């Protein structure tokens, strides 16, 4: 287990370039299981979660080239087993995305309870219901055990929630179910759109991506395909907050204007100047102000993945901000640690917190409980007086590549021990 040691009080500024969208990388890797031909994925993020998913594919019999680089080549000519390694599954919630492709290739899938952030509070009920609608049935035993003796069948599916990974699970299965499927109440996030684009390149007919209704014309045999991922707007928003909270001027390269609008909308309300110049998202700040209220929502609303970071930003803003994350109840709990740093926080309930600022923070030892709150606590440490220690750093590195190196390049006084 590693610790990030931060000496606070340094202005963070300069340029940082984001890699591909983490939340697109995992379903695209799972999609490679649907074909026995080579697939190439470029602009992949060099993060721990991608490596775990790549090693899960290796465990299932795939050939994987380029692990640890931004370009991966995958061929799943022989899928040798239908039960991926339970230890790896326990490290990654995205391992649930293997269910559909395994049913397509093997007719059976046995996946241990997936790990990752908040595993006990995030069920896969929506995923399982979609697969059952396409012909899967449960098998007795521990974990998630399914079989499709007659193969996957096309279906008309209404998701009980617009779950991102639930939508992706349905898409992966529908692409391999010959015939027309329709997924309603589908998630609209950019990473869902990226999966649809990749499945279309593989030979499936996909339309309606980016809307709540997606139509899929599945085929019996999918071909290999190539795709370059779009820049990760969550990572870009994270770096924007890091720059803004320290009073620095930061340029974030590799972004798409259409993705960054949702980030700029909230940051602008807090007094941050945001300028999009082609693929560069530029931020600077003179004085931070409370936003009044920030509420997460489904795309194109403000993403829950950034709520921890803007909560920390609000500790340095003039006035009060009510942050309401109705989607996940544990993200805000992780920020209670900042009360010991001097932050003025009032946790109303598991979904709402009132932040009043600005408050001078002092260094403290902090616990990174999930990827995003871990990055938010690093931002807090960067502006705190004295030394802060965040551990385990590996939690944050699951979603941010070369984190220490890039912080140092931007002027932060940080060390990994």
Task: Write out the catalytic residue numbers.
Answer: 117
Calpha distance 214→196 (Å, rounded): 9
Q: CA dist 213 to 178, 188, 296, 304, Å? A: 19, 9, 22, 22
Burial annotation 69-96 (CB, 10 A radius, 16+ → b, else e): ebebbbbbeebeebbbbeebbbbbbbbb
Which residues on adjacent β-strands are paired with residue 280?
277
Q: What is the separation of C-alpha 188 from the centre of its chain, rounded to a whole number of angstroms?
A: 14
Is residue 180 classed as helix, strand or coil in its secondary structure?
Answer: strand
Helix, strand, or coil (residue 330):
coil
Q: Which string of DSSP letters, residue by residue, matches 206-238?
A: EE-TTSSEEEEEE-S-PPP-EEEPPB-HHHHHH
Evaluate whether 130 touches 200 at the Cβ level (below 8 Å): no
Give the Cα separation of 246 and 45 in Å (integer).
26
């Amino acid at each position: 287990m590693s610790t990030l040691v931060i000496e606070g009080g340094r202005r963070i500024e300069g340029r940082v370039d984001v890699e591909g969208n983490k939340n697109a990388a995992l379903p695209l890797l799972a999609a490679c299981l649907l074909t026995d031909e080579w697939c190439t994925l470029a602009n992949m993020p060099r993060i721990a979660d991608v490596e775990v998913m790549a090693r899960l594919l290796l465990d299932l019999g795939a050939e994987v080239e380029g692990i640890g680089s931004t370009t991966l080549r995958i061929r799943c000519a022989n899928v040798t087993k239908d039960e991926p390694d339970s230890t790896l599954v326990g490290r990654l919630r995205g391992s649930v995305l293997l269910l559909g492709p395994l049913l397509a290739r093997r007719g059976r899938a046995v996946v241990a309870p997936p790990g990752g952030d908040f595993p006990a509070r995030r069920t896969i009920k929506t995923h399982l219901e979609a697969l059952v609608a396409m012909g899967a049935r449960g098998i007795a035993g521990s974990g998630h055990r399914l079989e499709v003796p007659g193969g996957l069948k096309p279906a008309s599916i209404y998701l009980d929630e617009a779950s991102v990974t639930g939508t992706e699970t349905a898409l992966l299965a529908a692409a391999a179910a010959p015939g027309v499927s329709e997924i309603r109440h589908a998630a609209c996030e950019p990473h869902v759109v990226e999966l649809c684009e990749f499945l279309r390149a593989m030979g499936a007919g996909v339309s309606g991506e980016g809307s709540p209704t997606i139509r899929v014309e599945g085929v019996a045999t999918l071909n290999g395909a190539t795709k370059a991922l779009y820049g990760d707007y969550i990572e870009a928003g994270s770096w924007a907050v890091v720059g803004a909270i320290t009073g620095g001027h930061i340029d974030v390269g590799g972004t798409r204007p259409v993705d960054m609008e949702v980030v700029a909308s909230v940051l602008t309300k807090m007094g941050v100047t945001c300028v999009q110049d082609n693929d560069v998202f530029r931020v600077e700040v003179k004085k931070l102000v409370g936003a009044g209220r920030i509420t997460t929502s489904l795309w194109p609303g403000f993403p829950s993945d950034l709520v921890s970071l803007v909560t920390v930003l609000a500790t340095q803003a003039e006035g009060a901000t009510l942050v309401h994350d109705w989607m996940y109840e544990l993200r805000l709990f992780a920020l209670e640690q900042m009360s010991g740093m001097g932050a003025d926080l009032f946790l109303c309930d598991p979904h709402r917190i009132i932040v009043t600022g600005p408050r001078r923070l002092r260094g403290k030892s902090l616990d990174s409980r999930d990827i995003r709150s871990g990055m938010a606590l690093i931002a807090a440490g960067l502006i705190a007086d004295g030394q802060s220690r965040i551990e385990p750093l590996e939690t944050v590195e699951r979603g941010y590549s070369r984190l220490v190196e890039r912080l140092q390049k931007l002027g932060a006084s940080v060390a990994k021990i």
